[in-house]
Amino acid sequence: MENQPPTNDKNSGNEVKKTESNNLNIQETSVVNQKVSNILDNPKTSSEIKPNKPPKPPKLEDKPFDEFIIKHLIPGLKTSIEDKGTLVSEIKLIEGERPVVGGKCWMVFCEMSEQRKFWLCFNSEIITSDKTILLAESNSDPSIVESFLIDEKKTTLPLLISRVLQRLNGQKWIGAN
């Protein structure tokens, strides 16, 4: 211990503690840096972090127009009408000239017992487009032409089916009237 300045015993303990503390901080920092480096070198994908969830299937209403109509609306309408005790002779999706009013559009055409028919017309190939319903009895031309679902902000399968049934019930075409 030559040539070392004399130390005060009270301060020498503090100096040792500070040195040990600095060494610990350096070691801790080194460990943290190593962990960060490992994460950056081997990043986990989001599937490793979160459990794998299957992607949600698209909503029925987001499916292509013809798929929605043919696979969901038509079978749902037919079943719902027949559940009310009315036979459905024919129900299909057609593209053509709208009866009475004119203009090309997509239509769900339905022929029911007692020579009753209705056309649910979509102005364009999207279920949220403007819609019209036409009703005809006894093999005549449609005698009723009405806008359909004009105040609804969202068009869903259950809404379409229930409102068609409501309209047919209003004509006393379905159910125990």
pLDDT category at 5 given cuts 50, 70, 90 is low
Reported as a single tens digit per residue, the pLDDT across 50-89 is 667 888 877 878 889 999 999 999 999 999 999 999 999 9
Q: Are residues 74 and 96 in the same domain?
A: yes
Taking Cα atoms as reference points, which of 81, 80, 77 lies closest to residue 92? 77
Q: Are residues 155 and 99 in the same domain?
A: yes
Which sign, positive or negative, has the C-alpha torsion 122, 126, 128, 129?
negative
164 domain residue, yes or no: yes
Q: Are residues 24 and 96 in the same domain?
A: no
Q: Do residues 89 and 111 make contact, with C-beta atoms less than 8 angstroms apart?
A: yes
**Cα-based torsion angle of the residue sequence 70, 71, 77, 80 in order, rounded to the nearest 10 degrees:** 160
175 domain residue, yes or no: no
Supply the pTM of this predicted model: 0.66
Q: Is the pLDDT of residue 96 over 60?
A: yes
Q: Are residues 77 and 164 in the same domain?
A: yes
Q: Are residues 45 and 67 in the same domain?
A: no
30 domain residue, yes or no: yes
Tokens of 27: 């070691």
Tokens of 110: 């339905």
Reported as a single tens digit per residue, the pLDDT across 114-168 is 889 999 999 999 999 999 999 999 878 888 899 999 887 788 999 999 999 999 9
Domain count, the chain: 2
Q: Is the pLDDT of residue 9 over 60?
A: no
Distances (CA, A) of 100 to 27, 96, 114, 122, 144: 86, 12, 21, 15, 10
2 domain residue, yes or no: no
Reported as a single tens digit per residue, the pLDDT across 25-59 is 566 666 666 665 666 666 555 555 566 788 887 78
Range of the domain at 144: 60-170
pLDDT for the residue 33: 66
| DSSP line for 65-85 | HHHHIIIIIHHHHHHHHHHTT
Work out the end-to-end distance of the chain between its first and last CA atoms, rounded to an integer number of angstroms: 114
Q: Are residues 104 and 29 in the same domain?
A: no
Q: Are residues 36 and 71 in the same domain?
A: no
Q: Are residues 17 and 77 in the same domain?
A: no
